[in-house]
Structure formats: C-alpha cells, structure tokens
Amino acid sequence: MPSEDSPKGAAHWSPLETEEWYGARNATTALRDVLTAAGMARDFPYLRADLNAFGHGLIELGRVSPETAERLAELLRRALRCAREHEEADDSCTRKTD
C-alpha cells in the first residue's frame, strides 16, 4: 500500500495544480475585465482558459462576429497610438533634461 508521502503518479495529475493553468486563468480574467470595461462582455461567449495536451496554458477567444472583430481592431489601434504618443512624450521629456 503506498504511503501518503509518496510522489503522485500520472494518474493523479490535475491541471488545477499547475502554474500553467493559473497563468491561463489569470490572463483570461484580465482579458475578461478589459472586455467588460469596453462594453464587449457578451461579444466573446467562448472566452475561457484551457491547457493543451502538453500542459501549456492557452486562452480560447472563440468565434466572434465581424463587427466584434472590427471593434477589437479599432481598440487595439487606439491603444497602440496612445502607447506611441506616450513614448514620444517620454522621449521629449528626456531630451529636455539632457
């Protein structure tokens, strides 16, 4: 009879005990929160955390309507533009102090 201190075998492996699962779940939660703030909570009905056969964490976005894809693309374009403007502002501040 195996002792309780013996290591768990493959038959006892659970995805809920891995860092990859928690990473996927946390990333899904972060994405869900942003989509909710953008008013897109209902546009991603298949959003979920998952693991593949190798135990790598994955985020399933699922299928979305063309309108949702266009809206997401516009949000990403705006975020990139804002990030570039922020970097340029930081660069100009750095040049002024040099």
Q: Which pTM does this prediction carry? A: 0.70
Reported as a single tens digit per residue, the pLDDT across 16-74 is 678 999 999 999 999 999 999 999 999 999 999 999 988 899 999 999 999 999 999 99
Tokens of 22: 């928690």
Per the CB < 8 A criterion, the answer to whether 20 and 57 are in contact is yes
Cβ distance 64 to 45 under 8 Å? no
